[in-house]
Homo-oligomer: A and B are copies of this chain.
Amino acid sequence: MAKIAVLGFGVVGSGTVELFYKNKDSIIKKAGTDLDIKYILDIRDFPGSPFADKFTKSIDDIVNDDEVTIVAEAMGGVNPAYDFVKSCLEKGKSVVTSNKELVAKKGAELLAIAKKMNCNFLFEASTGGAIPVIRPMHRCLAGNEISAVAGILNGTTNFILTKMINEQMDFAEALKIAQDLGYAEKDPTADIEGHDACRKICILSSLAFGKHVYPDWVHCEGITKITAEDAQYAENWGGAIKLIGSVKKTADGKILPMVRPAFICDGNQLSHVSDVFNAIMVYADAVDQVMFYGRGAGKFPTASAIVGDIVDAARMNGTSVSQTWEDSADNSFIADYKDDVVSVYVRTKGVSQAKVSEAFGTVEYISRENQPADELAFITPELKEKDFDAKLEALGGEILGKIRVLDMED
Residues on A close to B: CB < 8 A? 19-20, 22-23, 26-27, 29-32, 124, 130-132, 135-136, 138-145, 269, 272-273, 284-295, 300-301, 303-308, 310-312, 315, 320-322
A/B interface sample: 9 pairs, CB < 8 A? A23-B144, A124-B140, A131-B290, A132-B132, A142-B307, A286-B300, A288-B300, A289-B294, A290-B292
- Please name 15 further chain A to chain B contacts, defined as beta carbons within 8 Å, in addition to the given A136-B140, A141-B308, A291-B293, sorted by A numbering: A23-B143, A23-B286, A27-B142, A32-B320, A32-B322, A131-B287, A132-B132, A139-B312, A143-B306, A143-B310, A286-B301, A287-B300, A287-B301, A290-B294, A292-B292
Pick the contact of A143: B285, B303, B320 (CB < 8 A): B303
Kindly identify which residue among B22, B139, B294, B320 contacts A288, using a CB–CB cutoff of 8 Å.
B294
Tell me whether B321 and A304 are in contact (CB under 8 A). Answer: no
Beta-carbon contact of B300 and A23 below 8 Å: no
- In the assembled complex, the Cα of A162 lies from the Cα of B233 at a distance in Å of 26
List of B residues within 8 angstroms of A295 by Cβ: 287-290
- Tell me the minimal C-beta distance from A124 to chain B in angstroms: 6
Which B residues lie within 8 Å of A32 (CB)?
Answer: 320-322
Query: Chain B residues near A287 (CB, 8 Å)?
Result: 130-131, 294-295, 300-301, 304
Please name the residue on chain B nearest to A321 by beta carbon.
B32
> Pick the contact of A141 from B142, B288, B304, B306 — CB < 8 Å?
B304
Instruction: List B contacts of A308 (CB < 8 A).
Output: 139-143
Q: How far is the CB of A226 from chain B (nearest CB, A)?
A: 23
